[in-house]
Amino acid sequence: MPLPAERIRLMKRSGIREIMDLASGRDDVLHLEVGQPDFATPHHIVEAGCRAARSGFTTYTANKGLVEVRESIVAKLDRVNGIAAEPEDVVITAGAVNALVECLATLVSPGDAILIPDPGWPNYQMMADVLSARTVHYPLVPEQQFVPDLVRLEELARTSGAKVLLVNSPGNPTGAVFPRWVVERLVEITERHGMYLVSDECYEQIVFDDEHVSPASIQGAQHVLSVFSLSKSYAMTGWRMGYVTGPRETIDLVAKVQEPMISCATAIAQKAGQAALDGDQACVTEMVGAYQARRDLVVDILRQGKLLISVPRGAFYIMADVSAVGSDSYAFARRLIQDRAVAVAPGETFGPSGAGKVRLSLATATPELCEGAQRLVDAVAQWRAS
């Protein structure tokens, strides 16, 4: 029998999914492991999707997407992100995941190196594995609100031969929001070393205490691809609506890659996304306010339990220090499900620095979230003492 590709057979699954599988079938488990909004998609967006289906938006679109939707995206990029673009500079994708894979497929060849954050979303590593690319981790510093170690990053940019720097702010799993001066340095480093900067901005509108700065808005940024999603800001995870913008010649290649992958994003989702971008943004403000309130409650619980690492400034995640029980975060997460009926994401799935840490998702109803966080604190206190 022929054998499947070795790189895929050896590719690690996300630890988040492993914990989800372990918790499945148990009605008593409090789910703090999944990064999915617990809000319903706002009514006006759903209605726009229904109208689109009834109106005949059920066929293929151009690879880059419907022109009128890209025009709405261009207006939003100017209004919210300070990015100047034209409709032909945008590709609409099936979520940010699709956009990221297509960007990396466009930019790297087998064996090329990608700089990815540690801790960082595990799918970055999986994408590199699918593309037969190498990854090099650059550290985020917990004591400095999980911003990059710029000295180390500069060294890696100079010595690793990496072709792409992948940046995620607001960040998963840390909730970090990079200050403007840090974003400016990231742009300077990539331009100085002849690299592309791929900016994963899927949590761009979920910011609590700081401003979100898009790298492509920084003066001198020439080789930035900016990836966005409607999944998190508008509770549209199942609609699969994202987009990417960047230099025209590169975006044309991304659209070329999209042809054999998905042809085009779903027309119905594109029209729903247009309603999200053009419509009343009060729904976003309401959801962000809820996430911030939950953040504050969980910060207090973790701080009292002496498990707080840093206060997240955006996204809807927070990391907890469980190293008093041991460095194996997978073992801790499994035990927490079995003994306390709480599911959290093991820190090591986000990179080597995740040892002794776990991630909690704030995209969970407040009572369950607070109960789960308290059970986590109590478990660490008991297991540490035993």
pLDDT in tens, 150-203: 999 999 999 999 999 999 999 999 999 999 999 999 999 999 999 999 999 999
Task: Give me 320's structure tokens.
Answer: 């907890």
Residue from 235, 167, 173, 198 nearest 100 by CA: 198
Stretches where the chain sits below pLDDT 50 are none
pLDDT digits (tens, 9 = 90+) for 44-65: 999 999 999 999 999 999 999 9
SS3 of residue 236 by DSSP? coil
| Stretch(es) of the chain classified as CATH 3.90.1150.10 | 6-41+282-385
pLDDT of residue 271: 98
pLDDT of residue 1: 82
Hey, what CATH class is 6-41+282-385 in?
alpha beta
d(CA 311, CA 136): 26
Please provide the CATH number assigned to the domain covering 43-278.
Answer: 3.40.640.10
Q: What's the whole-model pTM score? A: 0.96
Is residue 46 a contact partner of residue 272, using CB atoms and an 8 Å limit? yes
pLDDT of residue 41: 98
| Stretch(es) of the chain classified as CATH 3.40.640.10 | 43-278
- For residues 167-196, one letter each, b for 16 or more C-beta atoms within 10 angstroms of the residue's C-beta and e for the rest, the string is bbbbbbbbbbbbbeebbbbbbebbbebebb
Is residue 134 a contact partner of residue 112, using CB atoms and an 8 Å limit? yes
CA pseudo-torsion sign 64, 65, 68, 69: negative
pLDDT of residue 223: 96
pLDDT of residue 266: 97
Q: Which residues pair with 226 in a beta bridge?
A: 199, 245
Is residue 225 a contact partner of residue 244, using CB atoms and an 8 Å limit? yes
Beta-carbon contacts of residue 122 (< 8 Å; ≥ 6 apart): 12, 14, 15, 16, 349, 350
pLDDT of residue 12: 86
